[in-house]
Amino acid sequence: MSTQRNTATTVEDHRYVLDASAVITGYGSKTILQQLDLHIRAGETYALLGANGAGKSTTLSLFLGFLAPRSGSVRVHGIDPIAQPAEARRHIAYIPENVALYEHLSARENVAYLLDLAGQKERQSVIDNALMAAGLDAAALDRRVGGFSKGMRQKVAIALALARQVPALLLDEPTSGLDPQATTEFNRLLGLLSEQGVTILMVTHDLLSAADVADRIGFLDAGRLVEEVAATGEDRFDVRALHRRYARQAERTA
């Protein structure tokens, strides 16, 4: 039985950029994820919704290699992030809820330095093009990021992802604290990355933003992926129906 399951997982590694199969894991004696099956293809934007404690951040930790599965398997572009953490992270860009940048450095300097840390040296023109594509004003390129808003910091992080050309982007509550205009701009940037074939996994409480950008929305409840809804037609999602699902889930965990 074990050999058959490992063979099936190997096949899936080539089909999905982010792949979690039958994962059980947690912290200490506490189990957080229970038989998680999450498979995300190249160029797909996937929004993972759930109440606090449902396991959203734990799912990101799995793909980042910060947490090992007790059973099941996790792959990033076919790579085990526990067995080969450095190799797996070369294929991922991660943007946390509060983007950590070097406050005393400019936007240009941050991207150049972080690329250098990743072992990737780029010409100034490549860095500038990435920052401009991410929507940062030319006047802001040489400003210290210590005075940047959250939206501007996220643009610097998106520019880094663009310059690195990684196949997968992980986002933790990306629109939290953004005003509607900044949220719209951020969603536009996600669309730009998706058009370039980047696989995006975002964990969020923002149902409306998820409905705007996601190809699929998954609902995580008590560590289980209980439902997935795919975008269809011109309207993509029935937002009212999604809200009812989300509200029922929140009531169960309250």
| pLDDT tens sequence across 139-161 | 999 999 999 988 899 899 889 98
Instruction: Give the Cα separation of 107 and 196 in Å (integer).
Output: 23
Class (C level, CATH) for 2-91+167-253: alpha beta
Q: Give the residue among 134, 138, 231 at the shortest CA–CA distance from 191.
A: 134
- The amino acid sitting at 187 is N
* Span 57-102, pLDDT tens digits: 999 999 999 999 999 999 999 999 999 999 998 899 998 888 889 9
From the CB of residue 146, how many other CB atoms can be counted at a distance below 10 Å?
11
Query: Residues with Cβ < 8 Å from 122, sequence gap 6 or more?
Result: 112, 115, 163
The encoded tokens of residue 118 equal 């990743």
Domain ranges of the chain: 2-91+167-253, 97-165
Please report which confidence band the pLDDT of residue 14 belongs to, taking 50, 70 and 90 as the band edges: low
- Burial pattern 198-226, b for ≥16 Cβ within 10 A else e, equals bbbbbbbbbbebbbbbbbbbbbbbbbbbe
* Span 176-194, pLDDT tens digits: 888 888 888 888 888 888 8
CB of 206 within 8 A of CB of 175? yes
What SS3 string covers the chain? CHHHHHHHHHHHHCCCCEEEEEEEEEECCEEEEEEEEEEECCCCEEEEECCCCCCHHHHHHHHHCCCCCCEEEEEECCECCCCCHHHHHCCEEEECCCCCCCCCCEHHHHHHHHHHHCCCCCCHHHHHHHHHHCCCCHHHCCCEHHHCCHHHHHHHHHHHHHHHCCCEEEEECCCCCCCHHHHHHHHHHHHHHHHCCCEEEEEECCHHHHHHHCCEEEEEECCEEEEEEECECCCECCHHHHHHHHHHHHHHHC
Question: Which of 8-17, 105-114, 230-239 bottoms out in mean pLDDT, i.e. has the lowest?
Answer: 8-17
CB of 202 within 8 A of CB of 46? yes
